[in-house]
Structure 1
């Protein structure tokens, strides 16, 4: 089954989900925030995503409508939301991709210098942070006061012990409904207990739902068409499995200077690993079957044991925002200083084939909707298969000669601006 094939499992209503969620969610902060290592065991990978055409909306005579999605069930909207609050920046990218950036309420930056400045996209980040002092205070949700929260309520209860189902009901009653799914990564205990790996929508499925919520079907269909064409182009050029380089994917929380690495699963379920799955790289995972410690922690000796052709730093392309708390611009010098130089200067690290061949490279960011994913699919193809897709310029990794581009930048701009071509 591909990532985007529809699930036949019955989805609970919103009130049923609240009751169920309160019964299964344990306390404690979820691992997996930006830049934190949580590369634990994940389900077996699935095949390349394709758009799933599903009925998602039910309208009523008074103009209200409902849209259904796991885990929130059927959610009713009195009218099209004019403001939305997000936390996961992949969901923010969905809003941006639909040309609705003015509706976005968040204090977080999804690497705008790298991706959004190319289209002169800016948005107001002067909003109270939802994550404060180790938790997500309910007051911040009232301060945002949007028409919809594109946030998974199970995530709130999983990350912050102060939240329970009664708080979810309160915020939905007095502020706005929740319409979200924490589908970036799905290996936390609460997600396992609620069968997220089997039931959660893929990035494209979630985007399709958001497009319905925001009444942007034309833009949604245009993006789905662009994605399908991009995938078709990529698939037609991919080498056979026997030609794959071996890859050690490490989280950007790794500290080569201290000899600490956090191994990640290339085929992990969730949209953060989508570029790797789409490019057929799951079988290239150098860490497959290798014993690692908590959160995938490993060392130079294990790195040398697997001796990959390529060491890829997850989130590396956004070192300016994730690793260094900057504006999101990729900084090749900082990347080299933090990840490459320590390996070159280590007695064991310097023996790695990837180090000797200068193949310690920045990988995609985990947070991505349609716009960011299009760039990152192209980026990842160039990282792994330069002979097929062109050499990557590490000083400007998204600057691709026009004749080597895998998708039309002007077409993206037109979709965002409303000049839709599907």
Structure 2
């Protein structure tokens, strides 16, 4: 925070001060007021005047608090717009950047999962990813939450309890002593512990906009997105001419086993594929979707049984399209069984996109996906053709709406 903000915090109790000291802050203030009043001559007139002044409604501070409601946290009240914030997911980080909040982000779940290279194409938009404190490598330590001293944590508390051995007492402690939680893990919808409402990517984006009081910026971004998607969809070939797609995960440059995803899972990580109208190559099979508990992997024989038109492989986001072709695809072309795949023979094996995405990243991933699936319509994925206006996106992020 700036020096000015620090001065304000010292001069008047903040919400966090009230949490830390409870009624003592309020009580101390009232006692101080009484002591000050006794400094007069003690006349009834002076006391009456002081009392009238102290209860005059015009002297009471304006209530600027507001609330945001999101499962599983429920209703969360903010006394003022958050300045310091911490997301768990890269998708929440990206949404905050889209709302012009880059300066206030102080931490993230894992920087390795936060792909910021997209911002390089947006004039005046940047994030210093390396300056962010990571939560996951530090085992989501409660001490770290105290050190970061954020105004809001965009983190699903049920995820904390399911994956990081927190309990409700831990959640309550950080919420009461540091800042509230507001978040819903929705990048996939296949975890048994998630038995409450999910949100779409733009529903989540809107909740962050409410928290940051950035309704105008959100609506401008949403309108741009809707126009972009509508334009792409009007250019798609008929449904019976579209390829079927198998989305998988495998980090290795010489892959031998592939973790499958089902495209009918409505998680935010698959938004671009739904918008692009593809069919799932796993439809009609008994192959399960990757989740916390389901870790099925397909070898090349298993892939050949499905034999998709297009194979998408996640885990290679830091490669360029050319680098991916020169490593992963090249290996598969030389593989005794992999080379029999239709997608390999037609060189239709591509990067599958990150697991966690926000509204800015989704624009780029939709553009990339359109080129991967329909190169005859949108251009080759290795080409430079742009399907949306980068400058307009940057303008919205920078406040020119």
Q: Please classify the TM superposition score into its range, dividing by the shorter chain length.
A: 0.7 to 0.9
Is the CA contact (8 Å cut-off) linking 2:248 and 2:352 kept in structure 1?
no
Counterpart selection for 2:131 from 114, 126, 146: 126
Residue correspondences, number: 332
CA distance in 1, matches of 2:121, 2:390: 13
CA RMSD of aligned residues (A): 2.0
Report SS of the residue matched to 1:295. Answer: coil
* Cα distance per residue 1:2-52 (max 9 Å; x no partner): xxxxxxxxxxxxxxxxxxxxxxxxxxxxxxxxxxxxxxxxxxxxxxxxxxx
- Greater share of helix: 2
| Superposed displacement of residue 136, structure 1 | 1.6
Counterpart selection for 1:168 from 164, 168, 171: 171
Match in the other structure for 1:183: 186
CA distance in 2, matches of 1:129, 1:364: 22
CA distance in 2, matches of 1:160, 1:92: 20
* 2:270 is the alignment partner of 1:273: yes
Distance 1:142 1:338, change over 3 A: farther
Counterpart selection for 2:236 from 238, 260, 272: 238
CA distance in 1, matches of 2:82, 2:181: 12
| Superposed displacement of residue 244, structure 1 | 1.4
CA distance in 1, matches of 2:125, 2:329: 32
Counterpart selection for 2:332 from 343, 352, 356: 343
Structure 1 segment 146-295 matched on structure 2, within 5 A: 146-161=150-165, 163-191=166-194, 194-195=195-196, 199-253=197-251, 255=252, 257=254, 259-281=256-278, 284-292=279-287, 294-295=294-295
| Superposed displacement of residue 382, structure 1 | 1.1
Q: Which runs of 5+ in 2 are unaligned?
A: 1-60, 289-293
Match in the other structure for 1:371: 360
CA distance in 2, matches of 1:333, 1:387: 19
CA distance in 1, matches of 2:227, 2:121: 24
Is the CA contact (8 Å cut-off) linking 1:250 and 1:312 kept in structure 2?
yes
CA distance in 2, matches of 1:252, 1:258: 7
CA distance in 2, matches of 1:298, 1:371: 32
Match in the other structure for 1:419: 400
With 170-179 and 109-118 compared, the bigger mean Cα shift is at: 109-118
Report SS of the residue matched to 1:85. Answer: strand
Structure 1 segment 300-339 matched on structure 2, within 5 A: 300-316=300-316, 318=317, 320=318, 330-332=319-321, 334-336=323-325, 338-339=327-328
CA distance in 1, matches of 2:320, 2:233: 30
Match in the other structure for 1:41: none
Structure 1 segment 13-162 matched on structure 2, within 5 A: 62-106=63-107, 108=111, 110-116=114-120, 118-124=122-128, 125-132=130-137, 135-161=139-165
Is the CA contact (8 Å cut-off) linking 1:292 and 1:298 kept in structure 2?
no
CA distance in 2, matches of 1:220, 1:168: 29
Distance 1:250 1:174, change over 3 A: same
Name the TM-score, length of structure 2 as normaliser: 0.78
Match in the other structure for 2:27: none
CA distance in 2, matches of 1:258, 1:155: 30
Q: Which runs of 5+ in 1 are unaligned?
A: 1-59, 321-329
Match in the other structure for 2:15: none
CA distance in 1, matches of 2:119, 2:376: 25
CA distance in 2, matches of 1:102, 1:388: 39
Name the TM-score, length of structure 1 as normaliser: 0.74
* Cα distance per residue 1:207-265 (max 9 Å; x no partner): 11111111111111101101111121122111221111122211134x57462111111
Match in the other structure for 2:381: 392
| Superposed displacement of residue 354, structure 1 | 1.1
CA distance in 1, matches of 2:62, 2:311: 56
CA distance in 2, matches of 1:188, 1:237: 35
Is the CA contact (8 Å cut-off) linking 1:233 and 1:406 kept in structure 2?
no
With 286-295 and 152-161 compared, the bigger mean Cα shift is at: 286-295
Pair member with larger Rg:
2
Where do 4+ consecutive residues of structure 1 move more than 4 Å?
Answer: none
